Structure 1
Amino acid sequence: MDPAMTTEADNFRQRVIHVIAAIPYGYVVTYGDVARLAGSARAARQVGGILRGLPAGSLLPWYRVINRKGEISLTGPDFQRQKSALQSEGVVLDSEGKIDLDRFRWRYVQDLL
């Protein structure tokens, strides 16, 4: 593998982690928001891959990242874990499982988009 490619991927990963660590309690962002803030607007799927690769017990607030529709993308027990974590911070999911992005999206992100 090209060392420059590895360095760029590692740099992007570090920027993604930095962005997610900055999401305030009680707010959410989309995978695309994180990608844009990390400098690669078209890398929303890569953000998901980085989150999937987090070690068990990570203190990073991964659960504050949702899809562009305002929904949790995970299923099964992982869905329940993310839903519970968000609800414990006061984030409300409607009867269809959607989060009102106008209300709960991190304002800093809204100002940048």
Structure 2
Amino acid sequence: MTKVLNESLIYEILSVVEEIPEGKVATYGQIAKLIGRDRNARLVGFVLSKAEFYGRYPCHRVVNHQGRTAPMWSEQKILLEKEGVVFKSDGKVDLAKYQWKV
């Protein structure tokens, strides 16, 4: 049986995002794993793309598994840099240094 996207699941994802400390990042897959949906990184990304409809969450602290920021959101890098996250020369976040250790 598949789970359906509902407000409970949306808020479960957003509550994890809310816990990411300033100056740290999490990956979509990491968040999916934390909510018990290991294979649903894309679902996490979809929910975060709609997060503004549910309140203010630090979605800028979520990157892909390679440390890349969202391609259509140039402000994300600026927000992370303001929190002290330094980007490598290839434009990715150094996950070894900045990934949230839960």
- When normalised by structure 1's length, the TM-score is 0.80
Matched, 1:100 2:94: yes
Count of matched residue pairs? 101
Partners of 1:92 and 1:33 in 2: CA distance: 20
Counterparts in 2 of 1:11-22, with a 5 A limit?
A: 11-22=8-19
Name the structure 2 match of 1:36. 33
The aligned amino acid for 1:101 is L
- Indicate which of 51, 60, 71 corresponds to 1:54: 51
Structure richer in helix, relative to its length = 1
The aligned amino acid for 1:55 is E
CA positional deviation for 1:13: 1.4
Structure 1 regions of 5+ residues with no counterpart? 109-113
The aligned amino acid for 2:71 is L
- When normalised by structure 2's length, the TM-score is 0.88
Structure 2 regions of 5+ residues with no counterpart? none
CA positional deviation for 1:62: 0.1
Partners of 2:6 and 2:45 in 1: CA distance: 14
Percentage of pairs with the same residue:
35
